[in-house]
Structure 1
Amino acid sequence: MWEIIINYIIEKWPFLALLVVVIIVTGVIVWRFAQWYNRFEKVEGKVDGLPCEKHDDLYPRIVKTEEKVKELPCLKHDEMFHDIKEQLVEIRTILTMKSPKVANTFSRKNSPRELNEAGLQLFEDVKGEEFLNQNKDIFLKGIDNKNPKTALDVEESALEVLFSLTDNDMFIRIKNWVYNSPTRKLFVDGKEKDYAITMNDVCFVLSLPLRNMYLDLHPELREMYDLF
C-alpha cells in the first residue's frame, strides 16, 4: 500500500519527493550529531578540574573520546554516510528514469528503450563508446553486485552505477565537457528549445549502451524478456 502511494508521489511530483527525502536525510544527520555532541558534553562536564585523584580513572576515557573525535569520520559514520549516499543515488535514478523530459529527449521506447538521434549524437560527443570500454570492468561489476533478475533491472542498475561513480576521477573529462558545452537545439516535449546538457543527461545516454553490454554477457536475461 505504502509502496503504491510513494511511487505515485514520485511519478506525479518528483521534485517534491526529492525535497522531502533531502529534508528527512538532513534531519537524521543533525539528530545523530546532536546525540553524539550531548554525550560528549556530559563526559566533558564530569572532568572539570582534572586531574584529581577521585577522577583519575576517568581521564583515559576522555583521552579516548578525544581521539575518536579527531578521527571523525570514523567507520560508523562512514557507513552511515555511505548508506545515505546510496539512498540518494537510488532516488536520483528513479527520478531520472521517470522524467519524461530526459527519456523522451534522448531516447525512444522501442522494446526496449534505445537512444534516438539526439541521444546518439550526445553519446558520440562525449566519446561514450571509448569511455564505456575504458571503464567497463568497473561498471559491469557494479551491475553484477546489484544482482539484476530481469533486463529492466539491468537497465535501472546501469544508470544507478553510473550515478554512484560520478565523483570518480574517470568522470573528470566528461564533467569538463559538460561544463564547457554550449546549449543546443533539441526537441523537448515536441517543441524545439535551447537545451543545456547536464550530467544526468550524459549518464542516462551512457546507461542504455551499458545495459546492452551487460545483456550481451548475460543473454539469459534478454531471453526472459523475449518470452513475453
Structure 2
Amino acid sequence: MCYTKTTTYLEELIRGIPNGLYYLAGAWVVWEAARFYFVRFCRVEKGVESITAVCAKLETRLSKIETVLDRICHYLAAKEGLSANFFSANSPMMLNDLAKRLLVESGGKDFANDQSEVLIAELENRAPKTKLDVQQTAVLVVFDSTVSDKFNRIKDFIYQNPIYEGEKIELTTLVNIIALYLRDKYLEKHPEL
C-alpha cells in the first residue's frame, strides 16, 4: 500500500513536471528580461542623464559665445566705419553729397527702400536701445543682407566701379552707407529713441 501511495505521488509529480517546467521557463524569461533591462538600460539611462547635463552646460556656453560674437561684430562694425570722405563729422554721422550719390547710383537706396520692411523688422528683432545701437545694428543687418540675391546689383556696381569719383569703394563702404540710410528710416519709425 505504501508502494502504491508512493507510486501515486510519483505519478502525480511526473504528470505535474511539464506544467512546472512551463512556469519555471516563464519565470526564467521574466528574470532574464528584467536583468537585461536593469543591467543594460539602467546604464543607458544614467548615460542619458549625463548627456542631458552636458547639453545644458553647452547651451549656456553657446549662449555666452553668441553674446561675445555679437559684441565682436558690433566692435568690428564700429571700427570699420566710413571713410571720412563719405560722411560729415557732425553728430549724428550723416552722409555727405558724395555718399548720397553713391547710395543712389549703386542701387543701395533702391535696395534699402525695397527691403525696408524686412530690414526694419530685423532691426526691431535685435531691439536696439539707443540711437548709436541702431546705427551699429543697422550695419550688421545690412551686412547680413549681402548674401541675398537682391544685393547682387550693389556688388556688381562695386566690382565694376572700384573707384568712385576718385574714392576707393568696397563692400564695407556701401554697407555702411546703406546702414546710415537705414538708421534714418528706422529712427523715423521709432522717434522715441
The normalised TM-score by structure 1 is: 0.51
Structure 2 counterpart of 1:171? 151
Structure 2 counterpart of 1:98? 79
Q: Quick one: distance in 1 between partners of 2:192 and 2:125?
A: 17
Amino acid at match of 1:97: A
RMSD: 2.8
Q: 2:100 matched to 1:120?
A: yes
Q: 2:174 matched to 1:202?
A: yes
Note the residue ranges of structure 2 that are not aligned, 5 or more in a row: 1-63
Q: 2:112 matched to 1:141?
A: no
How many angstroms does 1:87 deviate by? 7.0
SS at match of 1:220: coil
Amino acid at match of 2:114: Q
Amino acid at match of 1:127: G
**Alignment deviations for residues 71-123 of structure 1 (CA, whole Å, 9 cap, x no partner):** xxxxxxxxxxxx989977864553342246x3412112222110012211211
The normalised TM-score by structure 2 is: 0.59
Residues 1:202 and 1:84: Cα distance change in structure 2 (over 3 Å): farther
Note the residue ranges of structure 1 that are not aligned, 5 or more in a row: 1-82, 187-194, 222-228
The structure having more radius of gyration, on CA atoms, is 2
- Is 1:86–1:164's contact at 8 Å kept on the other side of the alignment? no
Between the aligned residues of both structures, percent identity stands at: 33
**What is the aligned length?**
132
Structure 2 counterpart of 1:217? 189
Which structure has greater helix proportion?
2
